[in-house]
Structure 1
Amino acid sequence: MNKPIRNLAVAALVLFAALLVNINIVQFVQAESLNDRNGNQRVINEEFSRDRGAILVAGEPVAESVPTDGQFRFQREYPAAELYAPVTGYFSYIYGRGALENSQNRVLAGTDNRLFVNRVVDLLGNKQPQGGSVELTIDPLAQRTAASGLAALGENTKGAVVALDPQTGAVLAMVTQPSYDPNRLASHDFGSVNDAWQELTNDDDQPMLNRGTQQTLPPGSVFKLVTAAAAMEELDLDPDSDVQGGTTLSFPGIDYELPNQGGGNCGGNEISLRQALEVSCNVSFGDLAGEVGQEALAEQAERFGFGQDALSGLATSESRFTAEGTDLEAPQLAQSGIGQFEVAATPLQMAMVAAGIANEGEVMRPYIVDTVRSPNLRVLEETSPESLSGAMTEGNARQLASMMVSTVDSGTGTPAQIPGVDVGGKTGTAQSTPDRPPYAWFVAFAPQDDPQIAIAVVVESSDTARSDIAGGRLAGPIARDVMQAVLER
């Protein structure tokens, strides 16, 4: 064989080998990811003709497939559409899947490897494969109560509520307003689906945004809980320790003063840490932030979950103490200590802060999927509570929790009082830009001796007059009602 023919033969063998390698990569290595990819039309055609599994809350479907006589054999339906849309997401022929419909797709579609035996049985019985079900941790009464609380503030309200079980991390409620109707995207009338998608995605109010996990906002004074925790951990302070009070906090050599909300003096030039939290004293916590220092305060925030993607199954945005690489000057650090400047947090994150304090300093990893089952109800997976981090020592957490109870008993958090229950809470009114109203925050837990719920409520905007916007006034009653719903179940 002459040299040119030999080289051509070698090249052909190399190309053939490369083709075999590529086929194996596509069919075995990449097969699962290709099948899971949104927009894979062949897979979508199969899924739309299949009995997709249900997403359940307290045993009742919040997403299910029902038989239809149309082009496809089943129609996806959402019985309590807007109430659970941020959690369930959507299942659309044109636009794919969102939220849990996407992250739990393999189980719901029946293609999960753990359902292999079920698929074989269906094949032998000449039946279409059937999907498994996903049971959520959501408390339906808490969910409805949270939605009603936001709705009561008016149709122009934007906000979110996230509630957790402090001892396990289970999500008890996750509500955003405005929300959307995923039935419009699941329709088999594709023209209507396209119109709905364009309307929803072009809406300035972003109804498809899960404000509980995806939107970060300045937390304002609810972040003072993180600053208080850092002061107790780093400076060995306790509730009776003296801290700086007064009307303003000044910075040597810098022409800037940090004032208190409303211009008060917090009760004196020297007050206790407990009183500082009760009256939400900017001067106290701005000064403490400087004493603790940027590095230690950032580390304290991280121990509560800042900078981490802690919740699986739903799209989340990481909360931040400050932008990476920023070296804060004294006034900026003071502003950060009261939850302003570059501090930004999701409601989920601030619920984790309250939960960690309530749970004696241990922050549990939040989760929303409780149990995954096969079509014959065999348990495939059950979530076990998992610790995310130790944010505080047990003793300091108990003392900070008692300070939060004092804040609800006789401080700025009185709107969250529940008769006969020791409720711990903290208000926050975060400034934004001059041309928009402040953000109203409230975080809380109850009861003190055996915490069953920790909650964060944020009202981003509403029809409330700017002068009447305050965390306790707007968000506090919502937190109270949701906590009551859980405690009385």
Structure 2
Amino acid sequence: MNRELKRVSILTLAMFLTLFVSTSIIQFFQAPNLDADARNTRTLYDSYSVERGAIVASGAAIASSVPSDDAYQFQRIYANGPLWATVTGYLPINGEATGMEAALNPELSGNASSQFFDSLNRIFTGQDPKGASVETSLDATLQQAAWDALGDYQGAVIVTEPDSGRILAMVSKPTFDPNSLAVHNGQQVIDSYQALVDDPSDPLFNRATGGDLNPPGSTFKLVMVATALESGQYTPDSTFPNPASYTLPGSSSVVRNSGGGTCGGGATVTLATALRLSCNIPMAELAVELGDAAIRQQAEKFGFNTEFDIPMPTEASVYPRSLDDAQTALTGFGQGQVLATPLQMAMVSAAIANDGIVMRPNTVDRIVNPNLTLLSEMQPEEYDRAISSATARTMTEMMVNGVENGAASNATIDGVSVAGKTGTAEHGEGDPYTLWFTGFAPADDPQYAITVMVENGGGLGQEGYGNLIAAPIAKQVLEAVLNK
């Protein structure tokens, strides 16, 4: 009898331990993956029963939870919602969360595996459950400056810290008010969301990190110059034929410089002059000489063809494979099949500013528990060395010349050395251009890398160009932050 009782006791204990281990694994160690599953709406509903952690920028909450007098217990509110929508995203009662609300949902709702012991402590002490707060890298002054400078244009502005990858400002327009999608009325949320989906200007797109990607135009010439210099076969003084028109190899299509003539005077033109004046033909010739494989390899060192989590997911910028010479020539000046986000072009400029090293972009500084203990702190992380220190210094000089004496002159700031490159990207015949600026300042001690992208030709169709519209926006943002 004692032997049988002992067997039953051991079996019961084993079953209990198995159940305890399996439930612990599911509830805590697998919680982040379960929370991230788009099919799991129960976690989203449960998150309203706790006070969700705040999302903070420059010490002030840009998303927070306040008590509500309905079944959801807490209402999510967004301070100056349209300004911060690209960062916070939104938390709906009947759909999927977006932005930081989705990417850091386990931490904000207090369900992350790293918060296991804090959750236990609250249970034993009787404290109300509460999520961790997220302190972002975003600078409120800089975010507002970028918002104001972009004005009514459709496009994006992104500012990063070159030596850390921290994103300091990220604005996309047109935008939306996340408060309209966080109300506790399911039908109202559906109606608001449908109106945004039906809006032809696509306000739900974060144009800084995705959406319908645009060709980068002449800003991609920075990648071209990097490829040439890193090959060891070219210097800024290397020369190229300087015709007024160039027929693409194996094609009847003709490429011209933006002004319609040659790139400055003379039968040949140097690489430095081609970048300073932003000439298309020398870059097309260079692209054919280098070949698409070498260009793609260099582009990928800058981050092309890679998706980054910041922690929100971003779309990969594209440099395709297996291009013929004609297609490769077009990519030499950022046309053809090459596509880029403003984030990616900011990474290119930031790498040049950072001695050739590409840092992984990030929008989070730290995550803090309700008791103010540190849950996690983000550390700068290198992605790759894109170019050598020597190449970075050479390219900085070339970009400064482009602002002081070239095609990016409208980014000039009195008393500050600015390194920059403009771009004017074509689409289909008759379609308005996409206008770009990318660069950094101060050039001799880089603190800020910036990229501006304006769609629809800035309202000027094919009359708009990068130096006319994008460069002054960058100048306004940089002046605001350098003078604060």
TM-score in terms of structure 1 length: 0.90
Cα distance in 2, alignment partners of residues 338 and 41 from structure 1: 46
Deviations 1:266-310 (A, max 9, x none): 113212222111111111111111111111111111111101123
**1:330 aligns to 2:328 (yes or no):** no
Q: Which residue pairs with 2:64 in the alignment?
A: 64
Q: Which residue pairs with 1:144 in the alignment?
A: 144
Deviations 1:417-475 (A, max 9, x none): 11111101111000001242010011011111110011111101266222531011111
Q: Which residue pairs with 2:426 in the alignment?
A: 431
Q: Say whether the 8 Å CA contact 1:38–1:95 is kept in structure 2.
A: no
Q: Which residue pairs with 1:74 in the alignment?
A: 74
- Kindly tell me the number of residue pairs found equivalent between the two proteins: 465
Q: Which residue pairs with 1:397 in the alignment?
A: 392
Q: Which residue pairs with 1:6 in the alignment?
A: none
Q: Say whether the 8 Å CA contact 2:35–2:106 is kept in structure 1.
A: no
Q: Which residue pairs with 2:482 in the alignment?
A: 487
Cα distance in 1, alignment partners of residues 116 and 29 from structure 2: 18
CA shift at 1:28, angstroms?
A: 7.7
Q: Secondary structure at the match of 1:222?
A: helix
**1:386 aligns to 2:386 (yes or no):** no
CA shift at 1:398, angstroms?
A: 0.6
Q: Secondary structure at the match of 2:253?
A: strand
Cα distance in 2, alignment partners of residues 36 and 127 from structure 1: 26
Q: Secondary structure at the match of 1:448?
A: coil
**1:45 aligns to 2:42 (yes or no):** no
Deviations 1:65-115 (A, max 9, x none): 012223322110001101111111101111131111011111110112222
CA shift at 1:61, angstroms?
A: 0.5
**Of the candidates 234, 238, 256, which is equivalent to residue 241 of structure 1?**
238
Q: Secondary structure at the match of 2:252?
A: strand
**Of the candidates 278, 281, 297, which is equivalent to residue 280 of structure 1?**
278
Q: Which residue pairs with 1:302 in the alignment?
A: 300
CA shift at 1:253, angstroms?
A: 5.9
Cα distance in 1, alignment partners of residues 419 and 101 from structure 2: 35
Q: Secondary structure at the match of 1:266?
A: coil
Cα distance in 2, alignment partners of residues 365 and 253 from structure 1: 39
Cα distance in 1, alignment partners of residues 458 and 394 from structure 2: 37
Q: Which residue pairs with 2:217 in the alignment?
A: 220
Q: Secondary structure at the match of 1:298?
A: helix
Q: Which residue pairs with 2:96 in the alignment?
A: 96
Q: Give 1:125's aligned amino acid.
A: T
Q: Give 1:335's aligned amino acid.
A: L
Q: Say whether the 8 Å CA contact 1:235–1:292 is kept in structure 2.
A: no
Q: Give 1:80's aligned amino acid.
A: N
Q: Say whether the 8 Å CA contact 1:38–1:97 is kept in structure 2.
A: no
Deviations 1:222-262 (A, max 9, x none): 00110111111114322233233231223566433321113
Q: Secondary structure at the match of 1:380?
A: strand
Q: Percent identity between the aligned chains?
A: 41
Cα distance in 2, alignment partners of residues 252 and 33 from structure 1: 50
Q: Secondary structure at the match of 1:101?
A: helix
Structure 2: runs of 5+ lacking an equivalent:
1-14
**1:459 aligns to 2:454 (yes or no):** yes
* Alignment CA distance shift 1:189-1:297 (3 Å): same
* Alignment CA distance shift 1:136-1:453 (3 Å): same
Cα distance in 2, alignment partners of residues 466 and 76 from structure 1: 40
CA shift at 1:116, angstroms?
A: 2.5
Q: Give 2:197's aligned amino acid.
A: T
Give matches, 1:181-192, under 5 Å: 181-192=177-188
* Alignment CA distance shift 1:387-1:178 (3 Å): same
Cα distance in 2, alignment partners of residues 31 and 117 from structure 1: 14
Q: Which residue pairs with 2:173 in the alignment?
A: 177
Q: Give 2:48's aligned amino acid.
A: F
CA shift at 1:31, angstroms?
A: 5.2
Q: Give 1:488's aligned amino acid.
A: N
Q: Which residue pairs with 1:250 in the alignment?
A: 247
* Alignment CA distance shift 1:256-1:432 (3 Å): closer
**1:410 aligns to 2:408 (yes or no):** no
Q: Which residue pairs with 1:367 in the alignment?
A: 362
Structure 1: runs of 5+ lacking an equivalent:
1-15
Structure 1 residue ranges, 4+ long, deviating more than 4 angstroms after superposition: 23-32, 251-254
**Of the candidates 466, 469, 474, which is equivalent to residue 474 of structure 1?**
469
* Alignment CA distance shift 1:256-1:43 (3 Å): closer
Q: Secondary structure at the match of 1:468?
A: coil
Q: Say whether the 8 Å CA contact 2:239–2:269 is kept in structure 1.
A: yes
Q: Which residue pairs with 2:289 in the alignment?
A: 291
Segment drifting more, 398-407 vs 34-43: 34-43
* Alignment CA distance shift 1:462-1:195 (3 Å): farther
Q: Say whether the 8 Å CA contact 1:442–1:472 is kept in structure 2.
A: yes
CA shift at 1:361, angstroms?
A: 1.0
Q: Give 1:166's aligned amino acid.
A: P
Q: Give 1:44's aligned amino acid.
A: L
* Alignment CA distance shift 1:146-1:411 (3 Å): same
Q: Secondary structure at the match of 1:458?
A: strand
Q: Which residue pairs with 1:123 in the alignment?
A: 123
Q: Say whether the 8 Å CA contact 2:31–2:111 is kept in structure 1.
A: no
CA shift at 1:32, angstroms?
A: 4.6
Q: Secondary structure at the match of 1:291?
A: helix
Segment drifting more, 414-423 vs 262-271: 262-271
**1:262 aligns to 2:262 (yes or no):** no
Cα distance in 1, alignment partners of residues 46 and 106 from structure 2: 13
Q: Say whether the 8 Å CA contact 1:444–1:455 is kept in structure 2.
A: yes
Q: Which residue pairs with 1:318 in the alignment?
A: 316
Segment drifting more, 212-221 vs 56-65: 212-221
Q: Secondary structure at the match of 1:262?
A: coil
Q: Say whether the 8 Å CA contact 1:118–1:129 is kept in structure 2.
A: no
Q: Which residue pairs with 2:4 in the alignment?
A: none
Q: Give 1:284's aligned amino acid.
A: P
Segment drifting more, 302-311 vs 418-427: 302-311
Q: Say whether the 8 Å CA contact 1:91–1:185 is kept in structure 2.
A: yes
Q: Say whether the 8 Å CA contact 2:335–2:425 is kept in structure 1.
A: yes
Q: Secondary structure at the match of 2:135?
A: strand
Cα distance in 2, alignment partners of residues 148 and 227 from structure 1: 32
Q: Which residue pairs with 2:8 in the alignment?
A: none
Q: Secondary structure at the match of 2:230?
A: helix
